[in-house]
Amino acid sequence: MGEAKIVVNGGVDLSKKPVWIEGPHLMKRNDWYYLYAAEGGTSVNHTEVVFRSKAALGPFVPYEKNPILSQRELPRDRKDPITSAGHAQFVEGPDGKTYAIFLAVRPYEGNFYNTGRETFIVPVVWKDEWPVMDPGPNGVQYSYKASYPEVKQAGARPQSGNFGYTLTFEKQLDPALLFLRTVDSTSFSLSKAKGLTLKLKPETCAETGNPAFIGKRQQHLYCTAETELTFAPKAANEKAGLVIFQDEKHFYYLCKSVDGGKPMLQLFKSTADAKQPELLAQAPLKSATGSVQLRIKAQGDTYGFHFSDNGKAWTTLQDKVDGKFLSTQVAGSFIGCVFGMYATSSGQPTANTASFKWLKYEGNDPMYKK
């Protein structure tokens, strides 16, 4: 309430011309008000800084040893790096100690990553009544030991380390699944017999509409997503399958369709022209109506696309496809990729449908095997 007042203008030290300061948090502890925020931009120079004051509106004095969190000074060639750390929030743990949760990324090379911003945690120590993050001598770690047990949440999917699970579609969609922009409950149905059935909508994921798309985030640099698809395409414009999606102009689509009247398994790459994706590879299928299993395998900077008509022997449609095309560095923004079950009639109305029996996800990042 009241008139706006600038309490920090531009950053910690304007003489160093800092990149914008943003995402402020205000916290009171004992007799001090702490104002902490991200500074340095949201890329590799990202940091967290802190100020304090005896009054909520200042004047605020910066900590002389700012930043209180930074990964930018560490060797760029270190193994399994965590970079671009900032946007922190202080929380109190069950042990009464202070911790910070914050955003950072895990590149597989340079500043290339396909998993977007992720959430990390580090302990915080108080030095002369200043909060200082204590990630360890080599920066933010992949795990820390806590003095209290984990409280398992009933029905919650794992969110850290390596994990795998299979989603089925008998009664309801798992909370791990998401739509593009909004939920269209008329575009899908669930059953024990067929699984998830999507109506082929004219909208495509190369546009900014609401396509028949239900996805699950890529949470590992090295992982696989698989599904079993039952779909009988009637024309070349009808397609259904698995997509690995960064945004409307950056995705790969592994799908069943027809070419020359014959059933085909195809791999498309998005282009700047939403109506003209690039066909990278295709292979004939034995059956126009039978089911086919699809697999997309993320391998750091590449993706592999595979299929099977019996669930046992897998055929590689194309391997070592450029993964950097889907990275934040190339596509922009900070979001990660999504594996999507996706069906489209490419601009033309149709009554056809495609069914996905299950969706299997398995993460296998090497840094979690230690």
Domain locations along the chain: 14-133, 164-368
Distances (CA, A) of 56 to 16, 28, 38, 39, 123: 26, 8, 19, 21, 25
Q: Quick one: CA torsion of 72, 74, 78, 80, rounded to 10 degrees? A: -50
Could you give the maximum distance between any two Cα atoms of the chain, in Å? 76
Distances (CA, A) of 291 to 69, 118, 191, 308: 51, 36, 17, 9
Residue linked to tokens 């592994």: 254
Kind of pairing between the strands at 353-363 and 338-344: unpaired
* Helix ranges restricted to H, the chain: 328-331
On the CB side of 224, CA atoms within 13 Å amount to 15
Residue 325: phi, psi to the nearest 5?
-60, -25
Q: Is 17 within 8 Å of 40 (Cβ atoms)?
A: no
Select from 296, 293, 282, 289 the least CA-distant residue to 340. Answer: 296
What tokens does 37 get?
A: 């925020």
Select from 156, 48, 144, 66 the least CA-distant residue to 103. Answer: 48
Residue linked to tokens 């699970």: 165
Sheet of 239-247: strand order equals: 177-178, 212-217, 338-344, 239-247, 250-259, 262-269, 278-284
Task: Check the CA dihedral 81-86-87-89 and report its sign.
Answer: positive
SS (H, E, C) 106-152: CCCECCECCCCCEEEEEEEEEECCEEEECCCCCCCCCCCCCCCCCCC
| Separation of alpha carbons 110 and 116, rounded Å | 14
Q: Which residues pair with 111 in a beta bridge?
A: none
| CATH (one of 3.30.930.10, 1.10.630.10, 2.60.40.10, 2.60.120.200) for 164-368 | 2.60.120.200
Q: Which residues pair with 281 in a beta bridge?
A: 267
Q: Which residues of 222-254 are buried (b: 16+ CB within 10 A; e: fewer)?
A: bbbbbbbbbbbbeeebbbbbbbbbbbbebbbbb
CA 183 vs. chain centroid, Å, equals 19
Q: What is the pTM of this model?
A: 0.94
| Separation of alpha carbons 56 and 72, rounded Å | 31
CB neighbourhood size of 176 (10 A):
16
CATH 2.115.10.20 fits 14-133, yes or no: yes
Q: What pLDDT sits at residue 370?
A: 62
pLDDT digit of tens for each residue in the chain (370 aa)? 889 999 998 899 988 888 889 999 999 999 999 999 999 988 898 999 999 999 999 999 999 999 999 999 999 889 999 999 999 999 999 999 999 999 999 999 999 999 999 999 999 999 999 999 999 888 999 999 999 998 888 989 998 999 999 999 999 999 999 999 999 999 999 999 999 999 999 999 999 999 999 999 999 999 999 999 999 999 999 999 999 999 999 999 999 999 999 999 999 999 999 999 999 999 999 988 989 999 999 999 999 999 999 888 999 999 999 999 999 999 988 899 999 999 999 999 999 999 999 999 999 999 987 6
Residue 81, classed as helix, strand or coil, is coil
What tokens does 23 get?
A: 């995402």
